[in-house]
Structure 1
Amino acid sequence: MLSRILIASAALGLATLPAASQSLPEAARGWTVTLGGTVTAVPLWMGSSRLGPMILPRLSLRAPGAPERFSSFDDGIAPAIVDLGWLRVGPNLTLMGARRARDDARLTGLANVGFTIEAGAFAELFPVEWLRLRAAVRHGIGGHAALVGNAGADIIWRPAPRWTISAGPRSFFGSDRYASTYFSVSAPESIASGLAAFQARGGLMKYGAVAQVAYRFDAGWTVTGFAAYDRLAGSAAAAPLVTQRGNVNQFTVGTSVTYSFTLGQ
């Protein structure tokens, strides 16, 4: 529900920008805004073998005169404040759903983890037009309240003007606090859940790859289909919750719809 509210709020706020742009100074006009939403089937919790639905917003900005650049479904909200074409830097916001025992009996006896907003910054580099290198660092607000980061690359192929196909590797890192929140089992939790006590450590949490296919319509709309595979690593892979009640292999599939418009036009 909170994800839906965030999407609606972003859409409502940004929808007023074209009208408001009439009063913008000339230098502020020409920014291209892309907004939309993603519907995804994701693991119910990190390490789960079952999938559940999740709705996430998408938002990006492109500076006046900057070329249109590739974006991926897993970028989160990432408006570029610095946009040199070959280099983009800006804030990064992603959302992580709550983990609650009432949603899955396999979590019985473990502490709930609330809904998390991860806020931070990203940087991406295009050494050549067909390759994107990207990294981000964020801190959780709410649920896990820990430091996380991710890095990856995308090989981009445009077989026709309207089509964009991409694929590339991904990695995800978490601090000790992140690992402990999701994978440690305290002595009281061990008694309540039947899982062995376990102390998780931070580091590489998972690695894998993503692929997506996007089609752009004339009216500014783009539809994207995507899939991702991750394999848990380190403490995440060794955690009793995963080895006894989950799976180290994690899958994600979904689709997104975005709309782009230019301020001042």
Structure 2
Amino acid sequence: MKPITTITATMLAILPVSVFAQDAAENAAEDTFAGHGIFFTVSGGLVSAPSFLGSGEASVYALPNISVAIGDRLNVSLLDGVSYDVYKDDNLSAGATLTYDFGREDTPSEHALLLSSVPNSEIAGLGDIEETAVVGGYIEYIYGNMQATLEIRKGVDGGHDGIVGDVDVTYNAPVEIFGKQSVISFGPTASFSDDSYASTFFDVSAAQSAASGISEYDADGGLMSYGLHASAYVPLNQNVALVGFAAFDQLTGDVAESSIVQERGAEEQVTAGLILNYTF
């Protein structure tokens, strides 16, 4: 059984990546653990998300995570994989990632971290999409309170060998919440893929159609979705921070026209969550 669904894992991308939020966490840790170059963060929270990409049903999941920051370039996360800044200066950073696509189950109701009910016949018959090791790269540019990021990833071993990417533009606004210097981040986002990725998640073969009752469909790549993501980072003390996030994504193109989406799901994808981080 997979530990977490594709859509829930994707929500990690919504968590605040603002330089202000990161600096606040790093400075808090440095103030408490001066001289240490390794910081651990244990996270726990709840996420309401579609049970699969394209689902019209919202489900609530537990979201546990452990991450390690080694210096200011290397990050390792249980859910988000490994990222390393190959190049880094005050405004521009570029690096590589090794992540894990958790695939898709055709029986979302059996998910190990599921806390609410899911119609167990929603996509039964499509078959599971196996987990996939994914490599990628990213480039990020920061100018004042604005931040732009491009990330591209490719499956190399497992359920798919497709290419998928994201473009994000984020405005980071320092604010005071609960009497604490905090950060609200928000901005537009878009996702795209090649034919292989779109086919893996949104095609319906003749055999799958017969087993599931969903019409046959052949998806091509291109722009998959566009939307608006927002998050709030609130440090409660030097070690503990509260993170809230929400996202609206509109599926588009061949993905939106897939019979999976049209007959068993929805083009509008809404996600929200609340997470507590403890850094030491």
Asked if these proteins are the same fold (TM beyond 0.5), I'd say: yes
Check the 8 A contact 1:92/1:119 in 2, yes or no: yes
Deviation of 1:30 (Å): 6.0
Counterpart check, 1:35 vs 2:41: yes
Q: Distance in 1 between matches of 2:246 and 2:271?
A: 6
Deviation of 1:249 (Å): 0.3
Q: TM-score by structure 1 length?
A: 0.75
Determine helix, strand or coil for the equivalent of 1:218. Answer: coil
Deviation of 1:117 (Å): 4.1
Matches within 5 A, 1:61-76: 61=69, 63=71
Deviation of 1:114 (Å): 1.8
Q: Deviations over 1:155-193 (max 9, x none)?
A: 010023621011011111111111001111112222222
Q: Distance in 2 between matches of 1:228 and 1:248?
A: 14
Alignment correspondent of 1:92: 97
Evaluate the alpha carbon distance shift between residue 37 and residue 62 of structure 1 in structure 2; reply closer, same or farther with a 3 A threshold.
same
Alignment correspondent of 1:25: none
Q: Which amino acid aligns with 2:147?
A: R
Alignment correspondent of 1:252: 271
Q: Deviations over 1:108-166 (max 9, x none)?
A: 221321233433222211022x1110111112242333211111011010023621011
Counterpart check, 1:55 vs 2:52: no
Determine helix, strand or coil for the equivalent of 2:200. Answer: helix
Evaluate the alpha carbon distance shift between residue 58 and residue 93 of structure 1 in structure 2; reply closer, same or farther with a 3 A threshold.
farther
> Match for 1:45 among 27, 45, 52?
52
> Match for 2:227 among 200, 204, 208?
208
Counterpart check, 1:221 vs 2:240: yes
Deviation of 1:79 (Å): 4.2
Deviation of 1:34 (Å): 5.7
Q: Distance in 2 between matches of 1:228 and 1:38?
A: 19
Alignment correspondent of 2:14: none
Check the 8 A contact 1:153/1:168 in 2, yes or no: yes
Q: Which amino acid aligns with 2:166?
A: N
Q: Distance in 1 between matches of 2:240 and 2:165?
A: 30
Q: Which amino acid aligns with 1:136?
A: E
Determine helix, strand or coil for the equivalent of 2:63. Answer: strand
Check the 8 A contact 1:60/1:80 in 2, yes or no: no
Q: Distance in 2 between matches of 1:48 and 1:146?
A: 21
Q: For the aligned residues, what is the CA RMSD? A: 2.8
Evaluate the alpha carbon distance shift between residue 63 and residue 102 of structure 1 in structure 2; reply closer, same or farther with a 3 A threshold.
closer
Q: Deviations over 1:69-96 (max 9, x none)?
A: xxxxx98754434331311222334444
Aligned residues: 228
Evaluate the alpha carbon distance shift between residue 95 and residue 177 of structure 1 in structure 2; reply closer, same or farther with a 3 A threshold.
same
Q: Which amino acid aligns with 1:99?
A: R
Alignment correspondent of 1:232: 251
> Match for 1:133 among 148, 169, 190?
148
Alignment correspondent of 2:213: 194
Deviation of 1:50 (Å): 1.4
Alignment correspondent of 2:126: 110
Deviation of 1:198 (Å): 1.1
- Percent of aligned positions that are identical: 29
Check the 8 A contact 1:34/1:61 in 2, yes or no: yes
Determine helix, strand or coil for the equivalent of 2:167. Answer: strand
Evaluate the alpha carbon distance shift between residue 244 and residue 154 of structure 1 in structure 2; reply closer, same or farther with a 3 A threshold.
same
Unaligned ranges ≥5, structure 1: 5-28, 67-73
> Match for 2:186 among 150, 164, 167?
167
Q: Which amino acid aligns with 2:163?
A: L
